[in-house]
Amino acid sequence: MPLTEPLAERWPLPEAHDVRDALLAAYADPARSYHDTRHLGEVLDRLDELAAHGTGYDRTTVLLAAWFHDGVYDGERDAEDRSAVWAERALAGMLSAEVVAEVARLVRLTETHQPLDEDAGGCALSDADLAILAAGPERYAEYVAAVRREYAHLADDVFAAGRAQVLQGLADKPHLFHMRWARGQWEGTARANLKRELAQLSGGVRGSCGDAGPR
C-alpha cells in the first residue's frame, strides 16, 4: 500500500520538526536496506489500518514509539534500548514524564514483540511492526533481500543460521499478532511466509548472526 501522504507530514508533534528531521535522517542512512524510511512508512500505514478497523490505542504515544522504534539500528542487540533512550532525551520537557516513559516502554517492547494482551499500545505497535511478515510474495521477497543486505558482512551459512533462529522463534509463538483484526487478516499469510522461508534456510547452516529478523 503506498503512503497516503509524505512521511514528514505524519510526524505527530508539529512543534518538534528538529526531532522529526533527525529521525528521518537516521532512517534514510544508506547503510540501511530494510529498517529505512519505507519500513517506517509501512508501520505507520499498518497502525492507521488497525485504527480504521476498530483497534483502540493511544495515538500519540504509539505513533511516537513507531517513529523512534528503529531510530537506532545497527544490528546490535541493544538497538531498541538505545532508540528508547533517544526518545527519552528528545521528548523530555516537550511532553509529560508519563507520556515520555510510555513511548520509551513501547520502543523497548519491539525487541521481543511480546506485549501483554491488555497492553493495547504494545499490541498495536508489535502487530504493525511484524505486519511485513504477511506481505504479498513480491514485497516479502524484497524484505528478505533487504534484510540480507543489512548483514552483507556475514557469510551465507552464518546469516542463514541466525535468520532461521529468529524466524523459528516467531513461528513457535502461539500467535504472531495480538489484535483480533490483525490476527484475522495477517496471521495465515505470515505463517505461510515463515514456513516457506524456513524451508529455504534449512540446509547446511551454522553459527548465529544475532538479530537478523523483522525488527
Q: Letter for the amino acid at 37?
A: T
Look up residue 166 and give its three cell numbers: 529468529
Sequence-distant (6+) residues with CB within 8 A of 90 are 16, 19, 22, 68
- pLDDT tens-digit readout, 36-63: 999 999 999 999 999 999 889 999 999 9
Residues 6+ apart with CB under 8 A from 42: 1, 131, 132
The pTM (predicted TM-score) of the whole model is 0.91
What is the SS3 assignment for 95?
strand
Report the amino acid identity of residue 115: P
Confidence band of 4 (pLDDT split at 50, 70, 90): very low
Domains of the chain with CATH codes: 7-132 (1.10.3210.10), 136-201 (no CATH)
Q: How far apart are CA 21 and CA 167, in angstroms?
A: 33
Percent of the chain with pLDDT over 90: 87
